[in-house]
Amino acid sequence: MHQRRKAREIALQVLYELDVLDIDAAEAIAIFWNYFGAPEESRKFSTLLIEGTCDKKEEIDSLISSCSDNWSLARMSKVDRNILRMAVYELLYCPDIPPKVTLNEAIDLGKSYGSENSGSFINGILDALYLKLYKDEADQKINGLTGSSHS
């Protein structure tokens, strides 16, 4: 698991770079690897997170915006915004990672790299998003259990 933590830190750094510079993901990844090394497992997972987050950025940003009533994406810090983007990508497109792990990792990244309020800010947005994403699924399971008990 330590390799995935390192991969998330790398992905955050590259996503931050992409938020600042006008370059594409492949170029940002290449620049990063020219200066820094990492184990192959971390390289693969960080690249997946970076490319996936960039590819799905519009969808991800829309979901984040729908769960952050008082904060526009532009108003969020670059660190918080990119942690949220990466976490939402994981929630949506990495079914092998338990949602609880994704949320905890995002909150920890916020505490390590963001402001003193980043952990709770990220937690609030991701909790709201998680409820929104999985409410229908949970309702179906509950209704399925309720329906089967009346049979």
Q: Are 76 and 41 in contact (CB under 8 A)?
A: no
d(CA 134, CA 28): 33
Tens-digit pLDDT profile for residues 43-86: 999 999 999 999 999 999 999 999 988 888 989 999 999 999 99
User: Has residue 150 got a pLDDT over 60?
Assistant: no
pLDDT for residue 136: 61
Encoding tokens for residue 123? 């937690």
pLDDT for residue 86: 98
pLDDT for residue 133: 85
pLDDT for residue 134: 82
Tens-digit pLDDT profile for residues 102-139: 999 999 999 999 999 999 999 999 999 999 988 766 56
d(CA 42, CA 9): 10
Q: Are 110 and 119 in contact (CB under 8 A)?
A: yes
CATH assignment of 2-141, given 1.10.940.10, 3.40.228.10, 1.20.1580.10, 1.10.287.990?
A: 1.10.940.10
pTM: 0.88
Q: Are 74 and 66 in contact (CB under 8 A)?
A: no
User: Has residue 146 got a pLDDT over 60?
Assistant: no
The more confidently predicted of residues 87 and 141 is 87
Q: Which residue has the tokens 């330590």?
A: 2
d(CA 78, CA 76): 6
User: What sign does the CA torsion over 138, 93, 10, 58 have?
Assistant: negative
